[in-house]
Amino acid sequence: MIKVDISNVWGQIALPDLLAMEQEVASAHATLADGTGAGNDFLGWQNLPVREATEEITRIQRAAAKIRSDSDVFVVIGIGGSYLGPRAAIELLQGPNHNIGKGKGNPQVFFAGNGLSTRHFNELTRLLEDKDFSIAIISKSGTTTEPAIATRALRWMLERKYGTDGAKGRIYAITDPCKGALRQMATEEGWETFVIPPNVGGRFSVLTPVGLLPLAVAGVNIMDMMNGAMDAKESYDLRSFENPVWQYAAVRNLLYRSGKAMEIFESFEPGFKMFGGWWQQLFGESEGKDGKGIFPVTAELTADLHSLGQMIQQGERNIFETMVRFDAPAQTYTIGSDWKNLDGLNYLAGKTLDFVDEKAYLGTLAAHVDGGVPVITMDCGELSDRKVGEMFYFLELCCGVSAYILGVNPFNQPGVELYKRNMFHLLGKPGYEN
């Protein structure tokens, strides 16, 4: 079970304040579990974890095995929740440099359709030159601008390289079961398809084929991940403050009420950066509405202590931190000795890098708390495929409970459409002239 340490928030909030929230948190959890709140038509994510492979998961595993055998590169086309979850898990488990040295049998995994940068697209096309590749198109509608542009371009590249019939076996569509442009396109072209359940929103979709196919292609054991999510579903249904979900959701709302309007979600692992990005969308899009919401920021420590450290230590006191920790890996690195000792580092000779990392964490924690920044610590234990599945479900559950405490619908995102309407008007899209 993930352990949430709230001992470093006292002084900003008091224990009686937390205990006084018991009924409020219980009500929010019950609203989510019973499906009686706003957005209750998007609660399908709660039933995604399974112990045994379903027919669709077996098809995903079979497709992943084919992609791994015939492709040097696998390109995942999607934006927002359609790519953040799988990329977060791959980088957390395999590192931000996971693509180096990979090819057939263990393909490189790249992501496209999440922006409109010509430079990024040109770089991707150069990477695909002289490589066998396959693509997955992830979209409920098939008409979202960024992934739709990438789909056109990469589909044409496949058809030029392999011919129309050859390209069909290298295109996978993950979309709505019945409707939408991508569903129609996949049916007409004969692409293999997987379903995004209609009752699962994008930012909660990592345990659907949206996340499972890219993860399986990357070599992640998706059934271990699903079992980790099932562990979370069973463990975190506890209805008391012994539940770390309650602790995290309640404390972050109490800190918000005390003027802490920004949360920095951080880890001392460079591979955590994209996981922080997934968390950032999950909480930002779920809570940021009706003039409310904690602004989510992610950071990589210790690197960002050399860029954000001054602001955290002595800037405006409207922030709190959530530090995510993992057990040390089995393979360690021991710092050596140098007879000249010009760098003055011999006092660490014989110590492991994890020992130094732990002291950096403790030193940072003490400094920030002394500087007036409340810190929640989330101890996740051993980092594994199963643990990442637990983390996904745990944080989704935290988000739902926290948003209902805040008094907003966790499952809609009405504000996201405004930039699209303005962009379509400027591009001259039919129907958006005014």
Q: Phi/psi at 325 (nearest 5 deg)? A: -120, 150
Q: Which residues of 65-89 are buried (b: 16+ CB within 10 A; e: fewer)?
A: ebbbeebbbbbbbbbbbbbbbbbbb
Contact 308, 274 (CB under 8 A): no
Cα distances (angstroms) measured from residue 164 to each of 74, 140, 243, 422: 18, 24, 54, 36
Q: Is 420 a catalytic residue?
A: yes
Q: For residue 434, with 0-12 CB atoms within 10 Å meaning exposed, 13-18 middle and 19 or more buried, which class applies?
A: exposed
- Output the six-digit token pair for 180: 């939408």
Q: Is 91 a catalytic residue?
A: no
Spatial distance between the Cα atoms of 400 and 246, rounded to a whole number of angstroms? 11
CA distance from start to end of the chain = 53
Is residue 368 part of the annotated active site? The answer reads no
Burial of 55 (0-12, 13-18, 19+ CB in 10 A): exposed
Tokens, residue 288: 């940021």
Report the distance separating Cα 132 and Cα 67, nearest Å.
10
- In the set 129, 306, 316, 340, the catalytic residue is 306
DSSP state of 170: T
Q: Which one of 3, 120, 420, 429 is the catalytic residue?
A: 420
Reading the block at residue 45, the tokens are 């994510």
Q: Cα–Cα distances in Å, from 348 out to 222, 338, 344, 360? A: 40, 11, 9, 13
334 beta partners:
352
Among 275, 216, 241, which Cα is nearest to 65's? Answer: 216
Q: What is the DSSP string of 274-285?
A: HHHHHHHHHHHH
- Rounded Cα distance, 193 and 176, in Å: 9
Q: Which residues, 6+ apart, have CB-to-CB distance to 138 below 8 Å?
A: 76, 77, 78, 82, 83, 147, 174, 175, 196, 210
**Active-site entry in 285, 287, 300, 396:** 285
- Supply the residues annotated as catalytic: 285, 306, 420
